[in-house]
Amino acid sequence: MAEQNQGKAVQTTGHAWDGDLQEFNNPLPRWWLWTFYATVVFAVIYWIWYPAWPVADSFTKGIGTVTYQRDGKEVTTHWNTRAELIEEMQTGSETLKQQAYLQKVAAASYEEIVNDPDMMAFTRSTAKVLFADNCAACHGVGGTPAKIGLYPNLRDDAWLWGGDIASIERTIREGRHGFMPAFGQVLAEDKLEQVAHYVLSLSGHAVDSAKADLGRAIFQGKEGGCYYCHTESGTGMASQGAANLTDAIWTVADVPGAADDKARIDAVEAVVRDGVHRQMPAWSGRLDDTQIKLLTVYVQSLGI
Amino acid sequence: MKLSHESIEINAGLMIVLTLIAISIGGLVEIVPLYYIKDTIEKVDGVRPYTPLEQRGRDIYIREGCYTCHSQMIRPFRDEHMRYGHYSLAAESKYDHPFQWGSKRTGPDLGRVGRKYSNAWHTQHLNNPRDVVPESIMPNYPWLLRNELDYSDVADRMRALKIVGVPYSETEEEYLANVEQFGAAMADQFDINRADQNLLAQAQSEDWDGDRTRLTEMDALVAYLQVLGTMVDFTQYDEGYFAEFR
């Protein structure tokens, strides 16, 4: 530094250490100094425009404002993110883009939505996002869960709680509580196995017919009483969320994934032994009526 | 001693003290007013301290470092509102010590995860997230189901939180104040003298981890996750109400 500054009159700070050790006092670079002044000016504008300084138990509100509708009246308040969010949800550009469609969907009947290609296109694109945010954690991104376990596949046309529009809407709105009692305490091991043989025979699997006959007596009799919910023909009952046992669709026992006859029997037997306890939460508090409507149409369309 | 440029520069102790004062101002002017500005914490019904079981779950949440990937603060933006629900209120974390707001989201925000999924889902998901969400990058926490919940010190933990301002009660007087504020049923939960029995009762009240015969860390963590963001009933208030506090 000393050599660089030779020939210029550079001030020193005036301190001297060890006799002759001095410190130059070079001015700040111009660009740095002006940037600094600019931040000062920015701060002052910020203080004037936005809420900034604490004063007693309140603060300076600034002169910036946000206007939104509250109970039909126009409210103008000092700038704050909460009021800004309300304004954006009411009149923001994204909101306005969707608004016409949302109002149209809200006013339309389910038949009208399904038969209107324009409304269906909107429903698919909007509900896909709603589904991803709310439903996909259990039912999988495309409506197929990660594995057979607790959560029904929504892409097939089998519905535990009914596949008509009204039932699907009710399922989403109020949630569902699926319950099958555990028979492990009621039925001995050999009887559980017999019931499993009978249940698999309903869907056309090769089973030991002697065991299946014994299983049928338990299923259709007082001992098991399975027919109360699954019906005598085994086709299930939507009001109880009881599965149809005669089709190839399995939501709890992983029958399709079983390696052999023995594994299939074991899978079904385990369900009879342990029972089923599954819960779908209610979405009425999280989603509004129109969102539920969009999801209902979307979920039903997945199953066709 | 004269407070000149030279005397500060050659006196390291004085320099440290003055530096600390200078840099404290920046923090203090931002933090201190929040304690006496009357609208900092919104006036809403429903916010309450955690029950003993939820509190133990919260301790496990912190122990496992859930906060390193999950925030618990939904910000007042449209996209967050659409995805997670109502933005978080200051009032909702007034009994949190420390709060779990965070700003790092590797996983989703958990501010309103309570009752969004079933207990069984949480148990499966914590045990192995890919059992339910194939594309998840969250680690497995299988020991939560294996570990018995240690609740021997839950009363002491509540006493510690009481010192920093959480209204758990020890005396009859404090208990009655809680009955006044939170109702009898909840006030019972906040009674430190009954912490153990309350914890056990709540663990039995619901099938948290799929096995009622054992009290595991999973029970506590699921109970905690299921209460997150559920205390305030937002249908009671119109949106403009919360904006009045800012």
Angle at B64 between CA B60 and CA B67, to 5 degrees: 100
A85 touches chain B (CB under 8 A): yes
Neighbours of B72 (CB within 10 A): 22
* Chain A residues inside the 8 Å CB shell of B81: 85, 89
Token digits of residue A295: 């999801």
**Is residue A147 domain-resident?**
no
Neighbours of B207 (CB within 10 A): 16
Report CB contact under 8 Å: A146, B118: no
Site of tokens 């038949």: A111
Per-residue pLDDT reduced to its tens digit, B169-191: 999 999 999 999 999 999 999 99
What is the reported pLDDT for A4? 53
Report CB contact under 8 Å: B37, A59: yes
The full length of chain A comes to 304
The second-level CATH assignment, the architecture, of B52-243 is Orthogonal Bundle (1.10)
Q: Which residue(s) pair with A180 in the sheet? A: A276
Of all residues in chain B, the one with the smallest CA distance to A178 is B118
Q: Helices B52-63 & B154-163, crossing angle to 10 degrees? A: 90
Distance CA B166, CA B95 (A): 6
What residues contact B232, with CB distance under 8 A and at least 6 apart? B44, B45, B46, B47, B89, B91, B92
What is the reported pLDDT for A24? 85
**Is residue A290 domain-resident?**
no
* Domain range annotation of chain B: 5-36, 52-243
Are B60 and B222 in contact by the 8 Å Cβ rule? The answer is: no
Site of tokens 């999950």: B70
Task: State whether residue A223 is helix, strand or coil.
Answer: coil
B30 touches chain A (CB under 8 A): no
Per-residue pLDDT reduced to its tens digit, A203-237: 999 999 999 999 999 999 999 999 999 999 999 99
Is the pLDDT at B1 greater than 90? The verdict is no
Chain A nearest-CA distance from B75, in A, is 9
- Return the closest-CA partner of residue A122 out of A106, A133, A141: A106
Angle at A179 between CA A174 and CA A183, to 5 degrees: 175
A250 burial type by CB count under 10 A (0-12 exposed, 13-18 middle, 19+ buried): buried
What is the reported pLDDT for A1? 46
Question: Which of B81, B83, B244 is the closest to A85 by Cβ?
Answer: B81
Question: Averaged in consecutive runs of 10 residues, what is the pLDDT profile of chain A (304 residues)?
Answer: 56 81 87 97 97 90 96 94 96 92 94 94 95 95 89 92 95 95 94 96 93 96 95 95 94 91 94 94 94 96 84
What is the reported pLDDT for B126? 98
Distance CA A5, CA A21 (A): 16
Backbone angles phi, psi at B180, to 5 degrees: -60, -45
Of all residues in chain B, the one with the smallest CA distance to A79 is B246
Task: State whether residue A54 is helix, strand or coil.
Answer: strand
Chain A nearest-CA distance from B229, in A, is 12
How many helices, marked H, and strands, marked E, lie in chain A?
A: 12, 8
Per-residue pLDDT reduced to its tens digit, B57-79: 999 999 999 999 999 999 999 99
- Return the closest-CA partner of residue A181 out of A161, A170, A195: A195
B144 burial type by CB count under 10 A (0-12 exposed, 13-18 middle, 19+ buried): buried
Per-residue pLDDT reduced to its tens digit, B101-137: 988 999 999 999 999 999 999 999 999 999 999 999 9
Report CB contact under 8 Å: B76, A84: yes
Strand A73-78 to A65-70 pairing: antiparallel
Chain A nearest-CA distance from B129, in A, is 10
* Domain hosting residue A251, numbered range: 176-280
* Count of the separate structural domains present in chain A: 2
Report CB contact under 8 Å: B240, A75: yes
ipTM attached to this prediction: 0.89
Please state, rounded to an integer, the average pLDDT across all residues of chain B.
Answer: 95
CATH of the domain at A225: 1.10.760.10
A58 touches chain B (CB under 8 A): yes
Task: State whether residue B216 is helix, strand or coil.
Answer: strand
Strand A176-180 to A276-280 pairing: antiparallel
A234 touches chain B (CB under 8 A): no
A73 touches chain B (CB under 8 A): no
Question: Which of A70, A83, A151 is the closest to B238 by Cβ?
Answer: A70
Chain B nearest-CA distance from A202, in A, is 29
Sequence letter at residue B19: T
Sequence letter at residue A89: M
Sign of CA dihedral A285, A289, A295, A300: positive
Q: Which of A25-29, B37-41, B94-98 has the highest mean pLDDT?
A: B94-98
Of all residues in chain A, the one with the smallest CA distance to B6 is A15
* Chain A residues inside the 8 Å CB shell of B135: 141
Backbone angles phi, psi at B46, to 5 degrees: 110, -25
Report CB contact under 8 Å: A137, B121: yes
Distance CA B72, CA A51 (A): 25
* Chain B residues inside the 8 Å CB shell of A86: 239-240, 243
Residue A279: which H helix or E strand, with range?
strand A276-280
Of all residues in chain A, the one with the smallest CA distance to B9 is A15
What is the reported pLDDT for A255? 92
- Return the closest-CA partner of residue B109 out of B145, B141, B82: B82
**Is residue A154 domain-resident?**
no
Distance CA A203, CA A226 (A): 16
Report CB contact under 8 Å: B246, A75: no
**Is the preceding peptide bond at B98 cis, omega within 30 degrees of 0?**
yes
Per-residue pLDDT reduced to its tens digit, A72-119: 999 999 999 999 999 999 999 999 999 999 999 999 999 999 999 999
Distance CA A59, CA B35 (A): 12
Distance CA A292, CA A295 (A): 5
Q: Which residue(s) pair with A78 in the sheet? A: A65
Backbone angles phi, psi at A196, to 5 degrees: -60, -40
Report CB contact under 8 Å: B118, A88: no
